[in-house]
Amino acid sequence: MPHPLGTQPSKIVAVHLNYPCRAKERGRTPDQPSYFLKPPSSLAGTGDALVRPRGCELMSYEGEIALVIGRRAHRVAPERGWDHVAWVTAANDAGAYDLRYADRGSNLRSKGADGFTPVGPRLLDATGLDPAALRLRTWVNGELVQDADTSTLLFPFGVLIADLSRLVTLEPGDVILTGTPAGASVVSPGDVVEVEVSAPDRHLSGGRLRNTVADAAHDLAAWGAMPRVDAALRADAWGPAHADEPALSEDVAEALRGLATATLSSQLRKRGLQHMTIDGIRPADPGAKLVGTAHTLRYLPLREDLFAKFGNGMNAQKRAVEELRPGQVLVMDARRDPTSGTIGDILALRAKVRGAAGVVTDGGLRDSAAVAALGLPTYYAAEHPAVLGRRHVPWDTGVPIACGGALVQPGDILVGDADGVVVVPPDLAGELIADSTEQELQERFIAEQVSAGEPIQGLYPLGPAWQAAYEQWRDDQP
């Protein structure tokens, strides 16, 4: 289907980073906007296929708000920049990471292929729209994967137009792709990507831009750069919210499942790590075993004037759940305040469906009986029926937090049993497993001797007089 612009623009300018949530994903926040150009021949419309070149595996989507210039802009001041925008519409800044190395920075081949910039389906008249009150949403196969508004952009739209027009004249019909929020990732042939731009305060929508990913019907000619990927590029393309790789190797996870938190805590203290337990929490099911890596969510104290902005819609709490990868534990910093719920049965169920290994919060748990019945290892400070806005504002995800007095970083390993939860630094996991396994073997031997009537003097902890007997016993174990 033809795109809705009517004429080909003289240029398409794309912004690298503009949403704070995306900057956090990328690990850098720019001081000034930076740009790249996409060829006008990359334009497409709703219903057109997103064709992945043969030999490529990392076809990406990036839902964006596209601005269409209506009036020539040359040396425009920021406060007048929006006056030069005629229309707003949805766009998908698609690309193939496999070819990014060939034109690093310019993105010509990776982002400029024919059809890699679908826009539409309808143009919203910019007149009367508040540029700081637009909403952008992206779905993949019907699942919401991006949801952001323009109230906190690093570089508001007027600033972008002013910055560009200092040196580059923007002509009527030119398109500015204004950046993508967190949640951009990889799609495969058969996947359907939909992007919508709306103005909730005006009850307006440009409709859903809908494109299906397809494989190219021809091989990529062998002259020039060919697709190339490695593990680092895959991790970059998939992104933290959608990477398919297990969060923790199964060998390490299985070894940790076989160890008691009491043993791990003892070994951590021997290494000078005295504050690795998450205190003041209890398990919904004492018989469950928790092992996984931390995905963090931070709550801040309730401020009623900020809750409407940060607590509603696709807030940090919901984003944290939707960002979960298989094997991750949702770990929440509720400032040890148990007088309001921090998660309930619906979001806990969603976490389980996404493959979460468990939930840990130093705040309250709603719907505690229903959550306990899910079979998802869950640790919490107290039951509480209150909804989210009583004590907390969900603030951000993927940051270091304090949970139950322990500092938890994203990627830390969480191990839980009936005694509680301990935080295991990933770089210590191997030696902790080895030493904890040895400690538990010694304790089994000691328990057998105590059961047989031996006194604990010189036996617990294992002393030199018992060392030979223990080694013989250990060698006889199956």
Cα atoms found within 13 Å of the Cα of residue 386, Cβ hemisphere only: 14
Q: ω into residue 121 within 30 of 0, thus cis?
A: yes
Residue 310 has a pLDDT of: 81
Residue 235, pLDDT > 80, answer: no
Residue 247 has a pLDDT of: 57
pLDDT, tens only, 424-460: 999 899 999 999 999 999 999 999 999 999 999 999 9
Residue 60, pLDDT > 90, answer: yes
Question: Would you place residue 243 in the very low, low, confident or very high pLDDT band (cuts 50, 70, 90)?
Answer: very low
Query: What is the chain's mean pLDDT, rounded?
Result: 92
Residue 399 has a pLDDT of: 83
Residue 410, pLDDT > 90, answer: no
Binding residues for Mg(2+): 367
Proportion of the chain above pLDDT 70, given as a percent: 97
The C-alpha atoms of residue 330 and residue 349 are separated, in whole angstroms, by 12
The C-alpha atoms of residue 275 and residue 91 are separated, in whole angstroms, by 48
**Pair of tokens at residue 275:** 């504050």
Residues 6+ apart with CB under 8 A from 362: 278, 280, 281, 332, 333, 334, 335, 336, 338, 380, 381, 403, 404
Question: Helix-strand-coil percent breakdown of the chain, rounded to 5?
Answer: 30, 30, 40
Residue 72 CA from chain centroid, whole number: 39
The C-alpha atoms of residue 228 and residue 129 are separated, in whole angstroms, by 43
Binding residues: 344-347, 366-367
Element holding 205 (H helix, E strand)? strand 204-215
Question: 235 or 351, which is more confident?
Answer: 351
Residue 244 has a pLDDT of: 43
Question: Would you place residue 324 in the very low, low, confident or very high pLDDT band (cuts 50, 70, 90)?
Answer: confident
Binding residues for substrate: 344-347, 366
Residue 275, pLDDT > 70, answer: yes
CATH topology of domain 250-424: Glucose Oxidase; domain 1 (3.50.30)
pLDDT, tens only, 118-141: 999 999 999 989 999 999 999 999
The C-alpha atoms of residue 350 and residue 356 are separated, in whole angstroms, by 9
**Pair of tokens at residue 365:** 């748990």
Nearest to 227, CA basis, from 243, 213, 215, 242:
215
Residue 451 has a pLDDT of: 95
Domain with CATH 3.90.850.10 in the chain: 12-238
Residue that has been written with the tokens 């920075």 in this structure: 105
Question: 442 or 25, which is more confident?
Answer: 442
- Highest mean pLDDT among 22-36, 242-256, 267-281 belongs to 267-281
170 contacts 164 by C-beta, under 8 angstroms: yes
Residue 236 has a pLDDT of: 77
Domain with CATH 3.50.30.40 in the chain: 250-424
Residue 180 has a pLDDT of: 96
Question: 329 or 105, which is more confident?
Answer: 329
User: Torsion over CA of 447, 448, 449 and 450, rounded to 10 degrees?
Assistant: 50
pLDDT, tens only, 30-41: 999 999 999 999
Cα atoms found within 13 Å of the Cα of residue 299, Cβ hemisphere only: 31
Specify the CATH class of 12-238 in words.
alpha beta
Beta bridge partners of 290: 416
Q: At what angle do helices 429-451 and 464-475 cross, to 10 degrees?
A: 100
119 contacts 89 by C-beta, under 8 angstroms: yes
